[in-house]
């Protein structure tokens, strides 16, 4: 079954806005041509992000009523700890309010000024925390990942030669850890193979460098391993996930994605000393080590969400939804990142708008135009997201200039995706008329969230 039907019944519904083109013109101008700045009530189908936008199950909502809101020692924390140990296999867990809370603690504890943190492509918040603590990020993803049209089953893989080169160049003692994202968000939601994870771990062990995963979309990664790596065809998602995690010394987690909740995250590790230091610092930024910024009820929903996330039918349908939208767009000739990943379809803005150079922010304007055309909200993932080089102050100019159509978990149906495809295709037909933008307000940190633009004449 290529596109399995939804493996759930819909018990609660939430109407969304139906707007006119004239209204949307006003809204996008007020939002400075930045889809992050639109009000949710101005948006139709909302594909801005899959982060915190999940529909929770009846079982999770029931768990919300079982919240133990004690300041310390909540039973929901103990439950979450058991579940994380069972499915992820790490010894210690420190809850945080979301993924970047965990990134903050990890970077603060492990990085020293002048260090290098290699990773399989940058992620905005992850790199920002590394740089804030004095490290330079080094991209060690395979070269194919920077080419939107290159089909590769594991386009998120680490290039071991790039990693070895860095170790030779700067020395292992300047590399506090290697950060491996499973899957790679900005490459298009691309997975990492089990074999590659095993090899990265072996190489790092030889040099005594810890491996820390960004586990944000690890269940999607496990699905791709089952689908594409022969040895795992008959393995369960839970077993694959457990083995993946055995090749890491710890992880950061944005629970707002693969843990199927609206808020929350955690940091995991096997090293007791690191855990102890994390419990010291978490009280400064997040809260007690037994809640770290989450309410008891949120920890319960997360524990239950993790158990639901490893259900094969759930994850098969999730990935199939992305593929469905990607296939529709490909059939119509719309350029997208290939192959379609686990959480989104990414439009290739360079190929969509070949007449616009990167300094005219093609992906930014494409996201704004798609909203105007259809009421669908998407997100820029190109030069604006990439920010500026910390040393030179120049724009980073990523090879990938993309617009992300991100599918929230258990929220939309295939019929919604038909509407999205229709909007993109009708915009594609009038792509020649689209002009660029200029940035009129540029925040210093993570500028894409709040930057403002005006159309070029």
Ligand X SMILES: N[C@@H](Cc1ccc(O)cc1)C(=O)O
Ligand Y SMILES: Cc1ncc(COP(=O)(O)O)c(C=O)c1O
Residues contributing to the site for ligand Y (CB under 6 A): 51, 98-100, 123, 125-126, 181, 185, 214, 216, 254, 256, 265
Choose the one of ligand X, ligand Y, none that binds residue 193, judging by a C-beta under 5 to 8 angstroms depending on kind: none
Cβ distance to ligand Y smaller for residue 43 or 218? 218
Cβ distance to ligand Y smaller for residue 210 or 293? 293
Selected from 42, 51, 60, 193, the binder of ligand X by CB under 6 A is 51
Question: How distant, in Å, are the alpha carbons of 40, 113, 369, 451 from that of 28?
Answer: 12, 41, 9, 13
Is 448 annotated as catalytic? yes
Choose the one of ligand X, ligand Y, none that binds residue 385, judging by a C-beta under 5 to 8 angstroms depending on kind: ligand X
Cβ distance to ligand Y smaller for residue 254 or 378? 254
- Collapsing DSSP to helix, strand or coil, 156 comes out as coil
- Interacting residues with ligand X between 117 and 146 (CB under 6 A): 124-125
Question: Kind of pairing, strands 379-381 and 402-406?
Answer: antiparallel
CA neighbours within 13 Å on the CB side: how many for 109?
22
Is 122 annotated as catalytic? no
- Tally of helices (H runs) and strands (E runs) in the chain: 16, 12
Choose the one of ligand Y, ligand X, none that binds residue 265, judging by a C-beta under 5 to 8 angstroms depending on kind: ligand Y
Among 295, 288, 434, residue whose Cα is nearest residue 354: 434
- Interacting residues with ligand X between 356 and 415 (CB under 6 A): 385
- Interacting residues with ligand X between 181 and 200 (CB under 6 A): 185
Is 71 annotated as catalytic? yes
Tokens 């965990």 found at = 102
**Are 388 and 367 within 8 A, CB to CB?**
no
Strand boundaries in 28-128, DSSP class E: 92-96, 116-119
Q: Does 309 bind ligand X (CB under 6 A)?
A: no
Choose the one of ligand X, ligand Y, none that binds residue 374, judging by a C-beta under 5 to 8 angstroms depending on kind: none
Which residue's Cβ lies closest to ligand Y? Answer: 99
Q: Does 53 bind ligand X (CB under 6 A)?
A: no
Return the structure tokens found at 405: 């159509």
List 137, 232, 275, 448, catalytic entry? 448
List 53, 96, 124, 125, catalytic entry? 124
List 46, 115, 159, 214, catalytic entry? 214
- Smallest distance, ligand X to C-beta of residue 33, A: 17
CA-CA distance, 197 to 167, in Å (whole number)?
17
Cβ distance to ligand Y smaller for residue 123 or 324? 123
CA-CA distance, 164 to 204, in Å (whole number)?
9
CA-CA distance, 381 to 124, in Å (whole number)?
10
CA-CA distance, 103 to 21, in Å (whole number)?
40
- Collapsing DSSP to helix, strand or coil, 269 comes out as strand
Return the structure tokens found at 255: 């629970």
- Smallest distance, ligand Y to C-beta of residue 187, A: 10
Is 352 annotated as catalytic? no
CA dihedral over 257, 258, 264, 269, signed as positive or negative: negative
List 155, 257, 297, 350, catalytic entry? 257
Is 214 annotated as catalytic? yes
Cβ distance to ligand X smaller for residue 183 or 254? 254
CA-CA distance, 147 to 187, in Å (whole number)?
9
Residues labelled as active-site residues: 71, 123-124, 214, 257, 381, 448
Q: Which residues bind ligand X (CB under 6 A)?
A: 49, 51, 124-125, 185, 254, 385
């Amino acid at each position: 079954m290529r596109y399995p039907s939804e493996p759930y019944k819909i018990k609660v519904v939430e109407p969304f806005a139906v707007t006119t083109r004239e209204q949307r013109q006003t809204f996008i101008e007020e939002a400075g041509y930045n889809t992050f700045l639109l009000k949710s009530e101005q948006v139709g189908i909302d594909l801005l992000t899959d982060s915190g936008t999940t529909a929770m199950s009846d079982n999770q909502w029931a768990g919300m009523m079982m919240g133990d809101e004690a300041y310390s020692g909540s039973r929901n924390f103990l439950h979450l700890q058991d579940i994380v140990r069972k499915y992820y296999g790490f010894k210690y867990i420190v809850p945080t309010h979301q993924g970047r809370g965990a990134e903050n603690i990890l970077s603060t504890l492990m990085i020293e000024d002048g260090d290098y943190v290699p990773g399989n492509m940058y992620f905005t918040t992850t790199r920002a925390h590394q740089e804030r603590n004095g490290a330079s990020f080094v991209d060690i993803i395979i070269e194919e990942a920077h080419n939107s049209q290159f089909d590769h089953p594991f386009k998120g893989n680490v290039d071991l030669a790039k990693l070895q080169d860095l170790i030779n160049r700067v020395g292992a003692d300047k590399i506090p850890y290697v950060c491996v994202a499973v899957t790679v968000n900005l490459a298009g939601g691309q997975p990492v193979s089990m074999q590659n994870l095993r090899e990265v771990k072996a190489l790092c062990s030889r040099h005594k460098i810890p491996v820390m995963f960004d586990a944000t979309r690890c269940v999607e990664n496990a699905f791709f391993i089952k689908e594409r790596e022969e040895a795992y065809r008959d393995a369960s998602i839970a077993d694959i996930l457990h083995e993946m995690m055995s090749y890491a010394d710890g992880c950061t987690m944005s629970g707002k994605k693969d843990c199927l909740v609206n808020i929350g995250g955690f940091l995991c590790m096997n090293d007791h000393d690191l855990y102890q230091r994390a419990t010291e610092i978490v009280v400064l930024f997040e809260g007690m080590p037994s809640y770290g910024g989450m309410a008891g009820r949120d920890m319960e929903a997360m524990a239950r969400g993790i158990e639901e996330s490893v259900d094969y039918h759930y994850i098969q349908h999730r990935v199939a939804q992305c593929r469905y939208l990607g296939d529709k767009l490909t059939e119509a000739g719309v350029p997208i990142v290939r192959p379609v990943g686990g959480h989104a379809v990414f439009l290739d803005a360079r190929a969509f708008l070949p007449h616009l150079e990167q300094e005219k922010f093609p992906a930014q304007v494409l996201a704004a135009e798609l909203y105007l055309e259809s009421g669908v909200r998407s997100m820029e993932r190109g030069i604006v997201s990439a920010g500026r080089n910390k040393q030179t102050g120049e724009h980073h100019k990523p090879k990938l200039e993309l617009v992300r159509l991100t599918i929230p978990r258990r929220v939309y149906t295939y019929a919604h995706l038909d509407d999205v495809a229709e909007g993109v295709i009708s915009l594609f037909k009038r792509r020649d008329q689209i002009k660029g933008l200029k940035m009129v307000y540029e925040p210093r940190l993570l500028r894409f969230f709040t930057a403002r633009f005006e159309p070029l004449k």
